[in-house]
Amino acid sequence: MILIFFGCTVGGIFTRGPGLSIIEATSVVPEGRVTPSDSGLWSDDQIAPLAEIVQFAHSQNQPNAMTKKGIWGLIRAFVEAARRTLKAGFDDIDVHGAHGYLIHTFLSPVSNHRTGEYGGSFENRTRLALEVVVRLARKLAEHSVDLLDVSSGGMHPKQKISSEGPMGAYQAPFSGDVKKSVAGDGSLLVSAVGLIKSGFAAQHLLEAGFADIVFVGRHFQKNPGAVWAFAEVLGVDINLAHQISWPVKGRGGRGSLVAHTK
Ligand SMILES: Cc1cc2nc3c(=O)[nH]c(=O)nc-3n(C[C@H](O)[C@H](O)[C@H](O)COP(=O)(O)O)c2cc1C
């Protein structure tokens, strides 16, 4: 009960940035309570529920450097999650190393202040990302990294990320640079992402060599038919579910989704 009570009352305060929190009066003898539901610590049974509350409060906004054991556990967790992903039938696995998520915090000197083998030099800061990928690649046998999706990933208010980019695609210059630097036998594809909002922009990025593939995120939240809209402006026919396509293309496949071509 105490957990639910504190979860509802002070839980929301813990999550909103206080440096020090003092919870309400806690009785040292049962007869000292003001109400029967007061918090108390007159018995060892009362340690565990309060310890959970303390642990939760400490977990909020108090970054702690992961121990080496923690890092190894994390890598194992990635491998285990990959096993579950395959079991669920997914075709690919995206290891998220941007946007201030954990791997990104190791990569960037802005957030990685560690000493030792996971901090400092570029080689050390990239160690976790590479260890995760190598362990996953081993687990996935013949599979390996096929695609590098290039993001910038704001994680600190002092970071200045330029909003300039070809046709509004502000991160495409980065993928263009990465593509140039990894261009080899073409076995590693490079993709661009970030404010790609039209078929023309997507096509331009591919043709101008900024990327091999483009990804679209938020624009899909606005318009789930974004692929359709992109295809329409480019005059490309796409597969649609039968239930959707017959009224658009005609029952016999006649007609076209694209009004202004052919
Ligand atoms: C709700 C939401 C969830 C996201 N989740 C992921 C993710 O799991 N992995 C990833 O690599 N990027 C993720 N992203 C980032 C997008 O892939 C993309 O990099 C970012 O939104 C910029 O592209 P956009 O302008 O087309 O949205 C997410 C974005 C949004 C809006």
84 and 54 share a domain? no
Q: Is position 200 within any domain?
A: no
140 and 71 share a domain? yes
Q: Report residues whose beta carbon is within 6 angstroms of any ligand 1 atom.
A: 94, 96, 151, 193-196, 215-219
| Ligand 1 pocket test, candidate residues 148, 193, 196, 220, most atoms within 8 A of CB | 193
CA of 152 to the centre of ligand 1 (A): 11
Distances (CA, A) of 33 to 1, 30, 143: 16, 6, 62
Q: What percent of the chain has pLDDT over 70?
A: 92
CA 34 to chain centre: 47
CA of 96 to the centre of ligand 1 (A): 10
How many other β-carbons are positioned within 10 Å of the β-carbon of residue 82?
20
CA of 170 to the centre of ligand 1 (A): 14
211-237 pLDDT tens trace? 999 999 999 989 989 999 999 999 998
Q: List the residue whose alpha carbon is closest to atom 6 of ligand 1.
A: 96
| Dist CA 16 CA 60 (whole Å) | 8
Q: Is position 245 within any domain?
A: no
49 and 11 share a domain? yes
pLDDT (average), residues 8-19: 82
126-163 pLDDT tens trace? 999 999 988 887 776 555 678 888 988 778 888 888 88
- Half-sphere exposure in the Cβ direction for 254 (13 Å, CA): 2
Domain containing 73 equals 65-145
Catalytic residue ranges = 101
Q: Is position 128 within any domain?
A: yes
* Nearest ligand 1 atom, CA 96: 11
Find the largest Cα–Cα distance for the chain. 87
Distances (CA, A) of 140 to 32, 82, 102, 115, 191: 61, 8, 22, 31, 22
10 and 75 share a domain? no
**Number of structural domains the chain divides into:** 2
